[in-house]
Structure 1
Amino acid sequence: MKKKLVSLFLAATMTCSMIAGATTVFAEDNAEDTTAEETVELAEPSTDEGYTIGISVLNLTGQFFIQLVDAAQNEADATGCTLMTNSCDSDSAKQITALENFISAGCDAIIVCAVDSEAAKPVIAKAKEEGIAVVCLTSTVDGYDAYIGCEEYVLGYTQGCAVGQRIAEMYGTEEEVQAATLNYDLMESVIARKEGIIAGVQEYAPNVKFVADATAADQEEGMSNTENFLQANPDLKVVCGVSDGAALGAYQAFKAAGMTDSEQYLIAGIDATDEALKLIDEGTIYQVSVSQNPTATGKALVDTAIAVVNKASYPKDSLFDLQAVTSANVKDYITE
């Protein structure tokens, strides 16, 4: 049950002062193609057909993962593959069980967004012993064949800089502006994302004071925690979420409180999901997101898994091409 690789994704490199060395980047359509720093070249491709690929993500409530898995499913269908999907609800034990099930089911490849990279090491080692290709998303696990993700700090910093610039336009850089963060500190790698947000905001708006912080995995938690923020901090003006899912909940909480003036309030997220883009385009208080292009990423994950199993060439490590999305460029990201 093997299938030829139908398509390989385009890779490009980007240089960033925060990232040591060059790495492969998923580029926008108008980006310049360059050669990957490390490309794995294997033997001639197999001619068998019908790969089975397992994918385990943190959840299927956040819009980023919903869109990513939908795109992965579409690509699997287009290439004649079977996709087995797992949402582990950010529970490492559940994820490990799912990965073991993928191995037992005879998957040719596994795509995993690891809740706990250290805890996943033994089951990934078992997969490799069975000859199963392993493609990691967001965080790496020892023994992986390919990685697609981003520098978490830079991801947060990209949002933070755009937010800081907008706050400076709204309030200047002297008047104190209260802000809050919706984090996902349950994953160590995402802690750096929040740190990047704060650093980026304060670089352009040093007058911002972060007065509240809470964990939010999805819109429901984002709304509930933001309601608590507003009760404790009635002067709160800004909420920065580490995902659009969490930030959309903050938007709903502000809206319910009648805080809808985009010259006074600002909500920001990450992922550039369809709902977030719509709100940015409409000129609401939801004013910033960061594009990781979940649709292109979902497709690339499947194509990369096929390339590894098919013994074709593929980039070992790839980074998203991160772009802050605001009212100035949101039209470039909305698809009809």
Structure 2
Amino acid sequence: MKKVVALVLALAMSLSLVACGGSDSSSAAPSSGTPSSAASTAGKDLSDITVAYVCSELTNEIFAMQVEAMEAYAKEIGVNFVYKQTKDTGEKITACENYISSGVDAIICHVQDGPAMVDVVNEAHNAGVKFFAYDTDVEGADTFYGWDNYDYGYAIGTNAANWVNETFEKGDTVYAASCNHTANFLIIREQGYKAALEELCPDITVEWVAEGIGGNAANGVTAGENFLQTGKDINLVVGINDGGCLGVLEAFNAAGYGGDKVGIFAGDATNDALNAVKEGGIYRGTVTTGLVSLAPDFIDLAVKLAQGEAVDRENLGPTTLITAENVDEFM
């Protein structure tokens, strides 16, 4: 928690915060009808600035929490905020193009495939619209905020490895399942947690016997049900996010599957995940990136871009491990 607070304070010192009253919106109807230009946005009043967010599906609790926090902060400072949710890269490109045509001042986009977004970044710049890439960088983007996904995965894997080393004996075999995803940056995250378990559990064999798509609870339930059909007594489930792994938890609970030698670990530190960790069951750990608490900083970066001010090109966030021992600090 201290790392997250320190990051937020550091960012707050580097950003010029301004405040006034305003409104928010979930539709693609900004206040201006023509594309912006670099000259016209310099020094623009907050009430005349529209920030558009192309986010991933809000069925994932962390994204819903993030959008709610961004909306609230934009309303507080008087910036117009609109958003479009979709997990599909092609649909994200279309949403960006629509926002460019409608004349927003800055676009924040949750990017899954950086190379696929290069052309739309150029379209934005040609229209005088600033482009803020989040989670995955894009060539030509005005700024990027994210996490090294290998390191993020390694943090998830470290949490799991700590439990494995505390729970099992030298020479034991731990049967593990991966709740993963096909998005490029999430493949890298999976590589991170698998590497952590291999490197940090040198005296215990972690055998990956199953994998399934996560990302949200519905997918996770299906994955969890399949994990239980492997013919192995699954000891460990590690996943790319809490959304999918909470679905695995649901499937395991429905089947009455658990015990002292079963553990689930993921990341995002959603409210449901924190509650599950606090309960002291088999959902034993998560990792926070401070994403929700950074929502004001996302808006501030976009506003500074819209006003023609300089911002850091690259911004990397922290990762903090959460278990039952420290979960109360994050609730």
TM range (shorter): 0.7 to 0.9
Deviation at 1:311, TM superposition (A): 2.6
**How many angstroms apart in 1 are the aligned matches of 2:81 and 2:7?**
30
SS at match of 1:314: coil
Deviation at 1:154, TM superposition (A): 0.4
Deviation at 1:49, TM superposition (A): 3.2
| Structure 1, unaligned runs of 5 or more | 1-25
Q: Is structure 2 residue 187 aligned with structure 1 residue 191?
A: yes
Question: C-alpha deviations, 1:113-168, integer Å up to 9, x for none?
Answer: 12322221111111011111111110011211111100000000001011011011
How many residues end up aligned between the 2 structures? 303
Question: C-alpha deviations, 1:187-207, integer Å up to 9, x for none?
Answer: 212111001111112223242
User: How much is the aligned-residue C-alpha RMSD, in angstroms?
Assistant: 2.4
Instruction: Identify the match of residue 150 of structure 1 among 147, 151, 165.
Output: 147
Instruction: Identify the match of residue 46 of structure 1 among 43, 61, 83.
Output: 43
Verify the 8 A CA contact 2:239 2:267 in the aligned structure 1.
Answer: yes
Deviation at 1:29, TM superposition (A): 2.1
> For residues 320-331 of structure 1, what are the structure 2 equivalents within 5 Å?
320-331=317-328
Letter in 1 for 2:212: A
**How many angstroms apart in 2 are the aligned matches of 1:297 and 1:250?**
28
Question: Could you state the TM-score of these two structures normalised by the residue count of structure 1?
Answer: 0.84
Q: Which 4+ residue blocks in structure 1 deviate beyond 4 angstroms?
A: 30-35, 42-45
Verify the 8 A CA contact 1:28 1:321 in the aligned structure 2.
Answer: yes
**How many angstroms apart in 2 are the aligned matches of 1:253 and 1:87?**
27
> For residues 55-134 of structure 1, what are the structure 2 equivalents within 5 Å?
55-88=53-86, 90-134=87-131
Letter in 2 for 1:202: E
**How many angstroms apart in 2 are the aligned matches of 1:264 and 1:27?**
31
Aligned to 2:228: 230
> For residues 1-336 of structure 1, what are the structure 2 equivalents within 5 Å?
27-30=3-6, 46-50=43-47, 51-88=49-86, 90-185=87-182, 187-205=183-201, 206-261=204-259, 263-334=260-331
Verify the 8 A CA contact 2:159 2:265 in the aligned structure 1.
Answer: no
- The verdict on how the C-alpha distance between 1:81 and 1:188 changes in structure 2, with shifts beyond 3 A counting, is same
Deviation at 1:30, TM superposition (A): 4.7
**How many angstroms apart in 2 are the aligned matches of 1:100 and 1:171?**
53
Deviation at 1:47, TM superposition (A): 4.5
Letter in 1 for 2:110: C
Deviation at 1:314, TM superposition (A): 2.6
Deviation at 1:225, TM superposition (A): 1.2
**How many angstroms apart in 2 are the aligned matches of 1:313 and 1:75?**
21
Aligned to 1:6: none
| Structure 2, unaligned runs of 5 or more | 16-37
